[in-house]
Structures are given as C-alpha cells and as structure tokens.
Amino acid sequence: MIHVSTTVNGDAREFLCDPRETLLDVLRDRLELTGAKEGCGTGDCGACTVVLDGRPVCSCLVLAAEAQGHEIGTVEGVSDGEDLHPLQRKFIEHAALQCGICTPGILVAAKALLERDPDPSETEVRYWLAGNLCRCTGYDKIVRAVLDAASEMREAT
Amino acid sequence: MAFDEEMDEFKVVGTRPDRPDGIDKVTGRARFGADATAPGMLHAVIIRSPHAHARIVRIDASKAEAAHGVKAVVTRADFADGLEGENWNILENLMAGERALYDGHAVAAIAATSSLAARDAARLVEVEYEVLPHVTDVDEAMQEAAPVIREGAADGSVPAGMHPNVVRCHDSGHGDPEEGFAEADLVIEERFTTEATHQGYIEPHACLGTLGPDGRGELWCCTQGHWNVQKVCAALLDVETSKLRVTASEIGGGFGGKTAVFIEPVALALSRKANRPVKLVMPRADVFRATGPTASTSMDVKIGMKKDGTITGASGVFRCQGGAFPGAPMEFTAMCAFAPYALKHVRQVGYDVMTNRPKQAAYRAPGSPMAAFAVESVIDELCNRLGLDPIDVRLKNASREGTKASFGPSWDRIGLVETLEAAKEHPHFSAPLAEGAGRGISCGFWFNHAGETAVQLALSEDGTVQLSVGTPDIGGSRASMCMMAAEELGIPYEDVRTTIADTATLGYNEISHGSRVTYASGLATIEAARDTVKKLCKRAADKWGIDAEAVEWRDGCAIPSGPNAGDFDPMPIKEIAGRMGQTGGPIVGHFEATPEGAGVSFATHIVDAEVDRETGATTVTRYTVVQDAGKAIHPSYVEGQYQGGAAQGIGWALNEEYIYDEDGRLLNAGFLDYRIPVASDLPMIDTVIVEVPNPGHPYGVRGVGETSICPPLAAIANAVSNAAGVRMQDLPMRPSRILEALKARS
Amino acid sequence: MRYHTPSSFEDASAIAAAATGVTRFLAGGTDVLVQLRSDLVTPDDLIDIKQIAGVRDITRRDDGSWRIGAAVSGAELAEHEALIAEWPGVVEALELIGSTQIQARCTLAGNLCNGSPAADSVPAMIAAGATVNVVGPEGTREIAVEDVPTGPGMTSLRPGEVVSAVNLPARGESGGDAYLRFIPRTEMDIAVVGAGVSLSRDGDTITAARVALGAVAPTVLLVEEAGAALVGSALDDMALAALAKAAEAACRPISDKRGTVEFRTHVAGVLARRAARIAYDRAGV
C-alpha cells in the first residue's frame, strides 16, 4: 500500500491505496466522495471528471498515487457552502439534467472552462464538453445553461 | 379516468418550476446505483464467455476460491431449478447453463473483500469451452445452414418450414395490398437494414444486495422497475417475494435497458453464500457485451402511390434479431410501421429471430424507429419521384380520429395531423437549404402504455404533502408529480415532496416503461389527491356540522359549496392538517389500479444535413422536433424528452452499431468505438409541443418519452439521401457507406 | 504492481533495466491506465517520470529549435503561443487527441511510445522532422521520430530506454505545417486516417515538403514521394493530384472496425491535399 497526502476541495486528506487504484476509486471508496461517477473506466465518458491542479481530468485515468502533493477538486467542492455556483443554479433552471449521472462531471468541466474563458461561444462550449457524454438531453439545454451561467457571471464582475 | 373538459385553466401545470431533486443532482449528493455501501460489504465480479457459442465443459473455481480475500463463487447451480417461461430465460441469460450463447454471457461470479481482489481472483477461474458454430446476422440466422440456437424455442405463431431460429411471427393488416399496388401510379419496394444499438445510459448497472440464511433480503439497485426486480429475484433465488425489500436508487439513464434484470440475482446469490452484503457494478465493457441492445433488423417495404400522393397499398416484412432468446420486438415493428397512415390495403409481417448475441432489451419505443426508417424512406422516395411535397403527402394520408389503424383498432383522438401542420408552418420547413445540403421529413408513432400503478399521498401536520410513487424518476418525473398534486390540492408546488417508495411501502408498480410515468403515476397522483380532498372536505364538514357533499375544495381550502350550505370561512389545508389527530386521525389519499387510456402519440421531425462528398461524413446542421404531448405538465422536461430522443436517433442513424468479428466477438464494447453523439456533433434541437388532449387522462397527458426516437432514423436518412443524391438503405450511415454509395452512383 | 517515482531519467532507466517483468513508463497515463483498467497490460513495474526535473518544460533554443519535455501535456502545449506560431500542425495534432480531460494528461512522447499507427501527433511530428532524446543503460541517443515505431504497439526503443524529450527543428522562414485526421464523430474518436504536412516556401514555390500518414499502415508512414510531389510547385491542382496519388499509393491499411482499406486509402489522399493547402497558407503568412 502507498501512503498519499493530498488536498481535496481545499481539505488536507491522507489515504493508503494499492498502486493499481485510481484516483476515482479512492475518491469514491476511501474518501466517501461519490459525486464523481464511473461511467466507463477508460476516459471515454467524462462522468468521473475532477480538476487536478486546476485542469479537468478523468479521475479514472489518474492513479491515486499520482495525487501526492497535488490539489484535487470534485463536484462536492463546486458550490460555496450552501451557495450554489451559478452553473449549478442554471443547470436546474434550464432543466439541463434529466437522469443526472453526467451532471457532476459536466459541472466540474464547465467550471474549468469559465475560469479560463468567461465568454465562450456555443461551439467552444460544445468542443470543451465533447468528452462529457450525456445520453438524455441531446446537450441542447446543457449548452444553454453553460452560456447563461457565463453571461450571469460576466455581469456579476 | 377520462379527460376533464373542465380542466382548462391550470395554476401549476404548464409552468417550469425547479425540479425537487435538482440540488442533490448538481452537488453530487444524489445516490445512484454504485453509490451505496454497507458494513462488511464484498465486491463482486462476473466471469463471462469469450465465445459466441460454446458448450461449457467444466468450470473449476478452486484456485479462485483459495485466493486472498475471496468469500464466495457462484455458478448456475446456485440458482433456482425448474423455472419456466420468461423466468427461465432471464436466469439462463444472467448465468449460463449448459452453453454460453453469446460473447459476454455470464458463466460464474466471485465476491471478494475488494474489487481488485475480486478481479484478480476472476482470472483464476478455469472454464473449459467446446466452441460451437455461431450466427449473429438476422438474415443468415434464418438460412437453412444456420446453427440452431435452441431447439423447440418457437411458438405456435411460426409457419411450418421456417428455421428453428425463427421463434415468433406476427401477421396483421386489412384489405389486399396487391389490389392497392395495382391502383398505384408508382410502386417502390426496397430492402432496409439497421444494426443493433445500445441504450447507452451513462450509469452502468449496479446494485448492493444482502440475502440472509433466513431468506430475508435487502436490495439497492438502479432499475426502471424495482417491483419487477423483486419478483424476478424471488423467483430466481427461490425466496418469498415479500421477504425481499427492493429500493430503487437514483437511476443514471435507462431508455428501456434498465427494465431488464441482469445482475441483482447474482449479487444476492453471492450474498447468500458469503452471508455478507455484496456490491456488484458492471464494467462498461460488460454493459455493452451482456445487457440489452435493441434488435437489429432486415426489412422489405413496398408502397404504392398515385400521382396525387394517395397511398394505395402498403406491405412490409420485418425481421428482428433479438439475441439468443425470444423477444425481439417484431410485433411492435410491424404494428408501428404504417400506423401514421389511413390505408385501405395494408399488411405487415414480423419475425422474431434468435442469434448468438446478447438478449435484446427494450430501447425507447422498441421496434418502432426501424419500421419508420424503412417506411418513411420509401414514402420520401415516392415523393421525390412523383415530385410531391413530403408534408402534403403525409397530410393527405394521415391517420385521424375514427380511421382504422393499420394494425386493427380505430383511432381515438390523435394529433398526427396537428404535428404535420405545425411542421409545415415551422420556419425550418421553408428555410432555404445550403448548397449540397438535404432536408428530411419523417413521422413516427408509439403506442404508449399505462400499467399497474399504486400511489399514496399523506398529509403532514403542517399541511405539506408527502407523495409516494412507485415509478423511478428517470428524467424529472418527481417534478411533474409534485405539480399535479399541487394543482389538485391548490397548494404551492414546494409544499409537495415526492418520494420513490420502496417495494415494502406501496403495492405493485409496473416498470417505468412505455412512456407511462407521467401518464399513469400522474393519473394516480391526481386520483390520490382527489381522494385526499374528499377526506379533507369531510373533516371540514364535520367541523361545520354540515354534509360532506355540501363542501367543496378550492385554492387549498374547504369552502361551503354554496350559500345554502352555510356561511363559513374557508378552512385552509394547514388548519385541517393541524387538527387531524383530533378529528379522525391521519389523512391519506391513495390510488391503486391499472388505468386504461394511455393515449398514443405521433411526431414529425425535420432535419437538415450536409454530406462531405470526399469523405462521406455527415453533419446534422438543423433539427426540429414536433410532437404531440397531449398536455405538457412541465414543458422543459417534455422538450428534454424530445431533444434526447432526437439525439439518440442521430447516433443510431449515423454512427452507432454493434460490430462483430467473424468469431462472433463484439469488437466495440466501449464508448470509444461505440460512438454515441458528443456535444460537438449536434446542433441545438428545436422543439414544438403540440397539445391534442388524450381522452384517457384528466389533464390530457400522453406519454412523450419514446415517440421522439421514432422519426429520426428516417428523417436523417431522408436528409442524407437528398443531400447525397443517393438513397441510403442501411444504418448506420457511416462515412464509408455513404462514400461507397456516392461512388456506386457515379 | 510496483509504482516508482524516480527523480532523473538515469534512475528511471536503471529501474526499467533492472526489472524482470512487464515495465511501463507513466507520463500522462492516457494509454497505460486504459490498458491497466481493461486488464490488457498490468505492469509489474510502473515508472512515473513526472517527478523528474524539467519534464514539463518547453524550451526554444538559440538556434530556433525546440525541446519539449516528455511530460508536457496537450493542454500545456496548446497554451504555448510561441510554439503554436511556429509549429501549429504539431500542436493541433496533439490537441486533437481525446477530450479536454485527456488533453490535461496526454503527451507527445506517450503518444509516440504507445506505438499506435493511428497516433495523431506522430504524423505531425514526422512531417516536422522531429526527433526524440532517449536515455538508456548505455547512455543517451537522439532518434528521428519516424524511426521509433516498428509495428502496432512496438517501438525500436531498447530495454531500459526512455524518451526524455521531443525536439522540433527550427521552423525557419516561410514554413508551415498542418495535421488533419478523419474520424466519424467530431471528437473522441481514434483517427481512421491522419495526414501531416510540413513545407517551406520561397514566394509561391514550395522548396521543401514532408508528408506523413497515420492509420494506413502498421506504422505511421513518412511518404517521401508525396513530399516530392509538392516541391517545386505552387500547390496547383496538378501538384495536389500528384500528392494525393502518392499518398494513396503509399497506403497499406487494414479493414477494421474503424474503416475499410478502400475508405482509408481514398481519404488519405483527400486529407493530404487538405492538409497541404493549410500548411501552404500558413507558410505564406
């Protein structure tokens, strides 16, 4: 077993893991953060998206041991306490989720987009989120929610 | 319960409130199938056949059983014996008996203290196979030389002389199509094929089960129908149904694929053997290899048309391959094929064909999209060759109230004409097309379903309401239930909490399928609320000392029904609720029945597509869905169903397919090569909600979830064919296929 | 599986050289971890190179050539404006791989060493004339990218050898490169065909050109005849036709779940032409 010290959603966390365990395994099974979902385990669906030092990654394609000394952000850290992030509010308002299994990964990825580009085009949103599969919505309401959240965030600053 | 003509003014229905489970789902709090844990929990792995067809000579699990952390191994011998009918099929599918019938067929399962330990041990299980001849193609499976999947599987509907792999047959229609073809100015007959596609829900099947030596069990799972899971598990494990309590987790997509049972009995069998809770989560590859894709098809459709666009006759043969078990939805394919049209002469024949593929499962309007692909393609070609407008022709032949349906009954009030008219008026239909682009139109039909339903509505002491329904929320249905209860009770939407009850809490609820949830659980909610209102009025009447019949309910209050009833101030629900302990006890409304009257639904889709003539790549540039919802309770989620069905249809039409090698092994068991549409593949999907009330629902609701996937295959094929100038008859229209067709033309 | 985090390439190489079982180097992990998860390859020793100093550095040398550390991710490459200005084709090729999430991890070196004939960045690197620095038990050496892959999943790297950096030559005046691939969707697929073109112009005339094709043979191909078809031309229709013909003639593809022999061969010509046009326009700026 490997001993790992890392930061998750701003909190210092430590865990022991098998070298084969992924970051997703550890988040879900050892740190009780089940917001990241395993849809494929091979980096093709994006349901397990977390940010690693500010960049969205598939946590199924990161070894837990690689988290040593890095900063991880999950969907559980997207809201500021009880205050939902604008993306979270807009997803509810626009009915941008049906089943909700892809939602955590999409929110984490979309938040990373808006931190880089506060005014993305529809096409940029679609390509940024191309690695986050959604089977329910046809993406229409997801893209609208992201664009509307971006607009609201720009007005707020 | 009939349409209530009086209900024309809604306060809550038709608005767009936030869904009640929204916050849980945007914060990661919502608990899905794989998110549950239990003390002492083991992790399970299923071992699967690498062969398409093989006799299982020997399974030796001794090395695995001795491995570190392994607590139980199960094989077929650990399940009930002597099952018949569909229960036997389900068991045979989820744990092979004498033969492995497809690549990915389960042969054994292991539970160990960690998922890594279980995976390591799985490699130690030795299975000896004797490989047998196999067949995976529907047409080949009907040929004389094809290996027989199972002798004696055919039922009495199959004509003599057919291959034993043809196990069921459907034949319906009226008039004489040959007579109709003789009257036509142009008759077109073509063959069409579609490949199997997977529902592609992002959440793999997952469950957590406990079954003790006393036969009592608890099961948590992602399913579209937990009472069905309870019933099937009880049968397959030979335990009493009521001793097994099943709780439905949040469900990460189903589209029909989670109406079937694949893993829950395996987890329970392992739990019974290990006497520990067992969690079983399917890897994605297993989801593709061993859970239900839809049927693949081979279809011949012949239609005759006069120069004025009148369809004079139609016939079709629909061959559906549903894997190694009976059940391909060929009767739905046949019945839906010509349903949009009023035809004097029509006949449709369907065949259910077995192959060495996974047991098909329902996929959104099972069978209908393929039929529409074939029929609507032929109509498009007829329109092209006769120089007719595709919407005018469809309007001319459209099914209307009172006309005889192609499969028998007379139509009640239906909304096909209204969708066609709305499509014709939509700016998309008259928008100019870019150079080299093509436009496609298609109609689609689905029956919709009602099913056994039980609902309970309990009043809390503060006047808020707890609504318990038994249909898992697969796309926002909690919101529509809250809305209908609030509408009836005259209380704010926020005062209703809807819970998906477990199997110990309500009577049997049929699976969330057939687009039935908003219709049937909605109707039951309205009935349960009306039952509650009666009880509320009675309490007020008792307090006022008048007859209950002299009290009516308005805006959340009991009021005297008229001046003769007495002069009393309105009594709000909160006041009655606060005193219910002293006035007769808890107030609970309920409804249990199998409603009749799930109204059918029709849709018309318009698609623009561009084809890259050098590479055969297709881009869908514009998409409009027009569909009859009867009554949209929460329009945002109705639109969402329209958009989702269209997107799945785009995938099916262009890129999704099961690809087998010559050994019958599935080559693309993952999202990398099973190519569902990604965000950058699609345009915005415009929607028009047509509302032609369903006579069988108090608010007029029709199911909306499935009809939306019926027209896309044809609409896209028509758009691509019109863009490329060559008729595409095989799905998916992958780029190489389009390029080949373009080359063949030139 | 043992997980190692050496602090130098010499140490990384020594661990690999001493290992007796299956060894893999871990950079972005977007291939290695997929293979691990799918039970295709479970290494006995996994050597993570990301803690080695300088592995994420992008350096422009005084002579205008570039050194890209072995663990530089697609996202980091795509944010490097000076590199994009000189080698847009190489950057866009790596950037095409996978999703935003994959971009945060995938690397040029990993894409090369995975040995896939469909690797997107490899045709672009070969067209660019890129080399890799290799550290091994017997010292270091520099190899041309086209000499690394030897077959599907196989490379010419010797036991214990590890790629430490990718080198791109100086772009020079009036040069441009481009990479295009064909996939059925718009994102998330493995290339059915890939085409990389790098060329230099003197006025309207092409003075040098390299063309490389992916997913049309057991390894990524450097098609010298295709490059030669462009040299001396102003990318007129005849040169483009000759380019396409040479590209098609070089193809030795297979039919598989992603494409047929006929389709791959035809599209190789189409993409070579399209990529050449882009590279030509870029070189003219």
Q: What is the pLDDT of residues A15-38, one digit of tens each?
A: 999 999 999 999 999 999 999 999
Q: Does C270 touch chain B (CB under 8 A)?
A: yes
- Which residues have CB under 8 Å from B277's CB, separation 6+? B38, B39, B40, B41, B42, B208, B209, B210, B271
Exposure on the CB side of residue B703, measured as CA atoms within 13 A: 26
Pairwise CB contact (< 8 Å): A42 & C38 = yes
Q: Write down the pLDDT at residue B36.
A: 97
By CB neighbour count within 10 A (0-12 exposed, 13-18 middle, 19+ buried), where does A69 fall? exposed
Q: Sketch out chain A's domains with CATH numbers.
A: 2-77 (3.10.20.30), 86-156 (1.10.150.120)
Average pLDDT over residues B219-246: 98
Residues 48-77 of C with CB under 8 A from A: 48, 50, 73, 75
pTM: 0.98
**A61/chain C closest Cα distance in angstroms:** 6
Chain C nearest-CA residue for B654: C184
C-alpha C187/C-alpha C204 separation (Å) is 34
- Please, are residues C114 and C153 in contact by the beta-carbon 8 Å criterion? yes
- Please, are residues B320 and B328 in contact by the beta-carbon 8 Å criterion? yes
- Please, are residues B581 and B570 in contact by the beta-carbon 8 Å criterion? no
Q: For residue B206, give the amino acid letter.
A: A
Mutation target for A interface from C100, C103, C185: give the one with most A CBs within 10 A: C100
- φ, ψ (nearest 5 deg) of residue B257: -70, -20
Q: CA torsion B458→B462→B464→B468, rounded to 10°?
A: -30
- In tens, the pLDDT along A60-110 reads 999 999 999 999 999 999 999 889 999 999 999 999 999 999 999 999 999
- Please, are residues C211 and C227 in contact by the beta-carbon 8 Å criterion? yes
- In tens, the pLDDT along B403-428 reads 999 999 999 999 999 999 999 999 99
- In tens, the pLDDT along B180-212 reads 999 999 999 999 999 999 999 999 999 999 999
**A47/chain B closest Cα distance in angstroms:** 8
Q: Does C263 touch chain B (CB under 8 A)?
A: yes
**A26/chain B closest Cα distance in angstroms:** 12
* Residue B678: band (very low, low, confident or very high) from pLDDT cuts 50, 70, 90: very high
In angstroms, the first-to-last Cα distance of chain C is 51
Average pLDDT over residues B243-263: 98
Which residues of A fall within a CB distance of 8 Å from C29? 61-63, 66
DSSP H or E stretch at residue B55: strand B54-60
- In tens, the pLDDT along B309-355 reads 999 999 999 999 999 999 999 999 999 999 999 999 999 999 999 99
Average pLDDT over residues B99-106: 98
Question: Residues of A near C (CB-CB distance < 8 A)?
Answer: 2, 19-20, 22, 41-44, 46, 49, 52, 55-58, 60-63, 65-66, 109, 112-113, 127-132
Kind of pairing between the strands at A71-73 and A2-8 = parallel
* Residue B563: band (very low, low, confident or very high) from pLDDT cuts 50, 70, 90: confident
- Which residues have CB under 8 Å from B314's CB, separation 6+? B177, B180, B301, B302, B303, B304, B338, B341, B343, B345, B346, B347, B375, B406
Q: Which fold has domain C175-283?
A: Enolase-like; domain 1 (3.30.390)
- In tens, the pLDDT along B274-304 reads 999 999 999 999 999 999 999 999 999 999 9
Q: Strands across the sheet with C162-168, in order?
A: C58-60, C66-69, C162-168, C131-136, C139-144
pLDDT of residue B6 exceeding 80, the answer is no
- Which residues have CB under 8 Å from B253's CB, separation 6+? A98, A99, A101, A135, A136, B199, B200, B201, B202, B203, B474
Kindly give the parts of chain C with pLDDT less than 50. none
Mutation target for C interface from B48, B123, B614: give the one with most C CBs within 10 A: B614
Mutation target for A interface from B199, B202, B671: give the one with most A CBs within 10 A: B202
Cis peptide bond N-terminal to C149, omega within 30: no
pLDDT of residue B5 exceeding 80, the answer is no
Tokens in use for C141?
């050496």
Pairwise CB contact (< 8 Å): A92 & B23 = yes
Q: Domain spans of chain C? A: 175-283
| C145: nearest Cα among C157, C160, C159, C161 | C157
Residues 160-199 of C with CB under 8 A from A: 186-188
Q: Does B255 touch chain A (CB under 8 A)?
A: yes
Q: Write down the pLDDT at residue B746.
A: 82
If you ran DSSP here, which 8-state letter would residue B30 be given?
S
What DSSP string runs through chain A?
A: -EEEEEEETTEEEEEEE-TT-BHHHHHHHTS--TTS--S-SSSSS-TTEEEETTEEEEGGGSBGGGGTT-EEE-GGGTSBTTB--HHHHHHHHTT--SS-SSHHHHHHHHHHHHHH-SS--HHHHHHHTTTS--SSSTTHHHHHHHHHHHHHHHHH-
pLDDT of residue B1 exceeding 70, the answer is no
- Which residues have CB under 8 Å from B22's CB, separation 6+? A91, A92, A97
Mutation target for C interface from A66, A74, A113: give the one with most C CBs within 10 A: A66
- In tens, the pLDDT along B120-143 reads 999 999 999 999 999 999 999 999
Tokens in use for B289?
């290899």
C-alpha C169/C-alpha C132 separation (Å) is 11
Pairwise CB contact (< 8 Å): B672 & C260 = no
Q: Write down the pLDDT at residue B232.
A: 98
Residues 82-121 of C with CB under 8 A from A: 98-102, 104-105
pLDDT of residue B8 exceeding 80, the answer is no
Which residues of B fall within a CB distance of 8 Å from C257? 659, 667-668, 673
Give Dmax (Cα) for chain B.
Answer: 88
Q: Of B154-163, B559-568, C123-132, C143-152, which range is least confident?
A: B559-568
- φ, ψ (nearest 5 deg) of residue B572: -70, 160
- In tens, the pLDDT along B51-95 reads 999 999 999 999 999 999 999 999 999 999 999 999 999 999 999
Pairwise CB contact (< 8 Å): C3 & A65 = yes
- Which residues have CB under 8 Å from B166's CB, separation 6+? B142, B154, B158, B351, B352, B353
C-alpha B139/C-alpha B130 separation (Å) is 25
Q: Does B616 touch chain C (CB under 8 A)?
A: yes
User: How many other C-beta atoms are found inside a 10 Å radius of the C-beta of residue A118?
Assistant: 12
Pairwise CB contact (< 8 Å): C37 & A109 = no
Q: For residue C13, give the amino acid letter.
A: S
Q: Write down the pLDDT at residue B2.
A: 80
Q: For residue B287, give the amino acid letter.
A: V
Which residues of A fall within a CB distance of 8 Å from C48? 63, 65-66
* Residue B530: band (very low, low, confident or very high) from pLDDT cuts 50, 70, 90: very high
Q: Domain spans of chain B? A: 22-30+450-593, 367-448+599-745
Q: Which fold has domain B367-448+599-745?
A: Aldehyde Oxidoreductase; domain 4 (3.30.365)
Helix (H, G, I), strand (E, B) or coil at B46: strand
Q: Which fold has domain B22-30+450-593?
A: Aldehyde Oxidoreductase; domain 4 (3.30.365)
How does the average pLDDT of chain B come out, rounded?
Answer: 97
Residues 16-35 of A with CB under 8 A from B: 18, 20-21, 25, 28, 33-35
Helix (H, G, I), strand (E, B) or coil at B164: coil
